[in-house]
Structure 1
Amino acid sequence: MAILAALVLLFLTGAGTASAAVVGAAPATGHHPAALTAAGDQSLKGTLRGPDGKPVSGVKITAEQKGQTVGSATSNAEGQWQIPLPGPGEFNLKLDVSTLPKGVQTRDKGGEVLEAVVVAPQQQRTVIFPLISTSQPQQAKPGAAPQSTSGPGQTGDQNQSGATAEGGEGVSLSRVLQLVVEGLKLGAIIAITAVGLSLIFGTTRLINFAHGELVTIGAVVAFWISTDPGNVPLVLAGVAALVVGGLLAGGLDLGLWRPMRRRGTGLIQMFIISIGLSLFLRYLILVLFSGRREKYAQYALQPAMQLGPITITPRDLIVTLASFAILVLVAVLLQRTRMGKAARAVADNKDLAEASGIDVDRVILSIWIIGGGLAALGGVFYGVTQGAVYWDMGFNLLLLMFAGVILGGLGSAYGAMVGSIIVGLVSQLSNLWFPPSLQNAWALLVLIIVLLVRPQGILGRAERAG
């Protein structure tokens, strides 16, 4: 089983790069002020807000690389701008101060120029130009470039009064606390999606590679329902996505996995089939949803709240608290309810559970429905906090899901929760010393170290070979 887990991680790390190279993003529409290029899907973007907090439109921003202009954009009515880039690299950004409204200036002296902004492959990096009134004195430009990085687990919405520094710029208590909150937010979302993956493995011994597509489907369904012409509140759209994800997962068990189990299909064969199912669903979503990056318009822009040294938007705070509340409910469900006890019995010994009168097929179907619903809901939460919904978002999160499940212990729902929280914290706290583009690598390094010391994972049980 350890070898199979290693194969999963190797396939994920390799396939992620390959799929990104094959399919580029289609031109963005809707709320995006500029189209994303198909050349690697890199861009620089941001939102300009004036001293009164209102969007600033009509401001021109230019990106240069090695002295050559590579793109420009003008902020739209919502203050948003986005510059597609020809590829990854280091860029200089210039804000044309002559296009600023009367009475508005950059907060920092020389703040209209941001130098050496590094953009990694497949990164849409968010940059902030803080603006103040001309009646206020400008500040000295800080040594660190005032921009924030939007990567997995980080959002593009930052308070205009400041900016998030690049990884490795020093350690302060406020920065540590901020990254801890970001890590808990990301870890809780990973945990919601990973619990179902772990429960399915525990009851069926199937490593469901298509679980990431359930995450994407949840986010996409909520987007479709919450936008025109329905304009359903996102909360209700999220509930609908949960139901759709649960029904789809249950349908897959009834129509695909249960017949295979009854025919005695081997686990390796079923694992390969799940890879094929993942590819089919992913590219079906691409055809139906397109390669655009969309966002939930109802929560696109929110002013950040200051809670002591921590800056967080109301939506991220609600998502984080809701995620932990859902994890508690899942724990209560598994520990206190009849179905939860039956699921644990099936996971411990399927034959003995069946001999005891437990309807194993019904329990497994319930686990698929719960796991699919949680994955879909996690996709909605992930799309809200990331500010983007796109066709392969679940696949991009799948590596972290597997890392959380394996770190916590294969088949253990509680282990998946603990492992996912650790993965989220490590990936974010690594930004204290290293670039954000490496944050997932450090989470996987912790996974490797833990497995070397405890091969069964943190809460997993050791199994005797032979």
Structure 2
Amino acid sequence: MSAGTAALADSVGEEYERGITGNVKLDGEPLSGIRITVDGGGYSAETVTGADGKWFIGVPGTEGDAYKITLDQTTLPEGIAVTEGGATQEKVLGKGTTVVQNFFIGEGTRVTVSMFDQVVARLIYGINFGLMLGLAAVGLSLVFGTTGLSNFAHSEMVTFGAIMALVLGTGLQLPIWLAIPAAVLLSGGLGWALDAGLWKPLRKKGLALVQLMIVSIGLSLTVRYLFQYFVGGGTEQLPGADSTLVPLFGSVALSVTDLVSMGISIVVIGGFAWWLLKTKTGKATRAISDNPDLAAASGIDVDKVIQTVWIISGALAGLAGVLWAYFRPGIKWDMGAQILLLIFAAVTLGGLGTAFGALLGSLVVGILVETSSLLIPADLKYVGALVVLIGILLFRPQGILGKKQRIG
């Protein structure tokens, strides 16, 4: 079926060059109003079949990218179900602009998932996503708290960690358990280099915060398109991305990768909390966030602490990038930019400059993003989190854990 024919169907995503199309029929007769969802590479969209039974969903991927196509069996006539291959099937984009996915349906028993299981599963996915988001948000919040900089290039630090893991794990064939820690160390090194080579000199010159923010936007765009130049526009997978599912209870199951990801996030966040609360440098970081002038007057080496903060911020962002690559799944040149708005939302929701507030905000955003897809179309799931963010800030502008003097 050509792209021109697919345009006759109920369609979304027509702005993309590639797409997935299909035709839903029962005994040769078209079925209208059947909901179809496409997910993959951080992209999600849905549509319903038209009067002719046809549907089309445009996707932003390139050749070799995989997408999961789901037919919502609750929208089928009573007693009708998908009889072959299951209600969720996978398609890989080829050289052509359009691939076809048809479902074989007929009389049968539907495999349904209870609303309770769906809610629990989405809560678990939301916590997993929130923990991953928290790693990136905590680093961004630390930088803001100690320097006042809203670093828009933080998204590229997230992407950098994932790309380094890909280079080391796939390009250099290192074991993934060794490639990931090495990528995190390199990400910490990137944080140090950015502070030493760019941000510290600009602070010494006395640039205003607005000017520094504009520089970060320019840096973000530059590095992002450098990633595209060297990595390409496709999606690459890290080793182990297709791990097996582990049943938890009922129909709820998580992949081994998701379970490991949650475990790593919890351990790292716990270690970070200990560092921030118990170590001398952590206490100095909190002191600078509260009052940098008083901290400097009390003998704290502000520049050294800020340098440490940049290293930790880079390392946490790099780790978040690796976990995001497994969660999406896949590595793409703009993958960090896809969650930058959510990272800022988490930091703002939790309270600007407060590390624990950023973590709390990330969990709230992650859960809202995942659970909202039970009520609204999947391609609008980020909207719910942002609406809640606006609502909370209207009543508590400083955020959940923020202090009033941080406003503005």
- Say which SS state the counterpart of residue 362 (structure 2) adopts: helix
> Deviation of residue 122 (structure 1)?
3.9
Q: Which residue in the other structure is 2:16 paired with?
A: 40
Q: Which residue in the other structure is 1:305 paired with?
A: 246
Check 1:42–1:317 CA distance in 2 against 1; reply closer, same or farther (3 A cut). Answer: farther
| Cα deviation 1:38-91 (Å, max 9, x = unaligned) | 9626555xxxxxxxxxxxxxxxxxx43699xxxxxxxxxxxxxx99xxxx8748
Q: Which residue in the other structure is 1:101 paired with?
A: none
Q: Which residue in the other structure is 1:335 paired with?
A: 277
Q: Which residue in the other structure is 2:143 paired with?
A: 200
> Deviation of residue 302 (structure 1)?
2.1
> Deviation of residue 329 (structure 1)?
1.1
Written as runs of structure 1 = structure 2, the 5 A alignment for 1:191-230 is 191-228=134-171, 230=172
Written as runs of structure 1 = structure 2, the 5 A alignment for 1:92-171 is 119=57, 122=60, 125-127=67-69, 141=81, 146-147=87-88
Question: Distance in 2 between the 1:300 and 1:257 partners?
Answer: 36
Question: Distance in 2 between the 1:449 and 1:118 partners?
Answer: 35
> Deviation of residue 408 (structure 1)?
0.2
2:321 is the alignment partner of 1:379: yes
Question: Distance in 1 between the 2:347 and 2:406 partners?
Answer: 20
Written as runs of structure 1 = structure 2, the 5 A alignment for 1:252-267 is 252-267=194-209
Check 1:149–1:321 CA distance in 2 against 1; reply closer, same or farther (3 A cut). Answer: farther
Aligned residues: 343
Question: Distance in 2 between the 1:456 and 1:434 partners?
Answer: 29
> Deviation of residue 464 (structure 1)?
8.1
- Say which SS state the counterpart of residue 126 (structure 1) adopts: strand
Q: Which residue in the other structure is 1:183 paired with?
A: 126
- Say which SS state the counterpart of residue 386 (structure 2) adopts: helix
> Deviation of residue 235 (structure 1)?
2.0
Question: Distance in 2 between the 1:184 and 1:148 partners?
Answer: 26
Aligned with residue 232 of structure 1, among 171, 174, 182: 174
> Deviation of residue 336 (structure 1)?
0.6
Q: Which residue in the other structure is 1:349 paired with?
A: 291
* Residues 15, 58 of structure 2: 8 Å contact kept: no
Question: Distance in 2 between the 1:428 and 1:394 partners?
Answer: 18
Q: Which residue in the other structure is 1:415 paired with?
A: 357
- Give, as a single letter, the amino acid of the residue that structure 1 aligns with 2:184: L
* Residues 183, 425 of structure 1: 8 Å contact kept: yes
Check 1:149–1:426 CA distance in 2 against 1; reply closer, same or farther (3 A cut). Answer: farther
Normalised TM-score (structure 1): 0.68
Check 1:340–1:149 CA distance in 2 against 1; reply closer, same or farther (3 A cut). Answer: farther
Question: Distance in 1 between the 2:378 and 2:89 partners?
Answer: 10
Gaps of 5+ in 1: 1-36, 45-62, 68-81, 93-114, 130-138, 151-168
Q: Which residue in the other structure is 1:64 paired with?
A: 22
- Say which SS state the counterpart of residue 141 (structure 1) adopts: strand
Check 1:443–1:142 CA distance in 2 against 1; reply closer, same or farther (3 A cut). Answer: same
Check 1:465–1:232 CA distance in 2 against 1; reply closer, same or farther (3 A cut). Answer: closer
- Give, as a single letter, the amino acid of the residue that structure 2 aligns with 1:119: I
* CA RMSD after TM alignment: 3.1
- Say which SS state the counterpart of residue 455 (structure 1) adopts: coil
Question: Distance in 2 between the 1:425 and 1:120 partners?
Answer: 27
- Say which SS state the counterpart of residue 402 (structure 2) adopts: coil
2:190 is the alignment partner of 1:248: yes
Gaps of 5+ in 2: 1-12, 26-38, 72-78, 92-111
Written as runs of structure 1 = structure 2, the 5 A alignment for 1:268-279 is 268-279=210-221
Check 1:65–1:278 CA distance in 2 against 1; reply closer, same or farther (3 A cut). Answer: farther
| Cα deviation 1:388-420 (Å, max 9, x = unaligned) | 100000011101100100000000000000000
> Deviation of residue 119 (structure 1)?
3.5
Aligned with residue 291 of structure 1, among 233, 242, 263: 233
Of residues 233-242 and 396-405 in structure 1, the stretch that sits farther from structure 2 once superposed is 233-242
| Cα deviation 1:88-112 (Å, max 9, x = unaligned) | 87487xxxxxxxxxxxxxxxxxxxx
> Deviation of residue 300 (structure 1)?
3.0
* Residues 119, 125 of structure 1: 8 Å contact kept: no
Question: Distance in 2 between the 1:331 and 1:403 partners?
Answer: 21
Check 1:457–1:315 CA distance in 2 against 1; reply closer, same or farther (3 A cut). Answer: same
Q: Which residue in the other structure is 1:72 paired with?
A: none
* Residues 350, 360 of structure 1: 8 Å contact kept: yes
- Give, as a single letter, the amino acid of the residue that structure 1 aligns with 2:137: A
Question: Distance in 1 between the 2:397 and 2:311 partners?
Answer: 30
Larger fraction in strand: 2
Check 1:170–1:233 CA distance in 2 against 1; reply closer, same or farther (3 A cut). Answer: closer
Question: Distance in 1 between the 2:348 and 2:386 partners?
Answer: 10
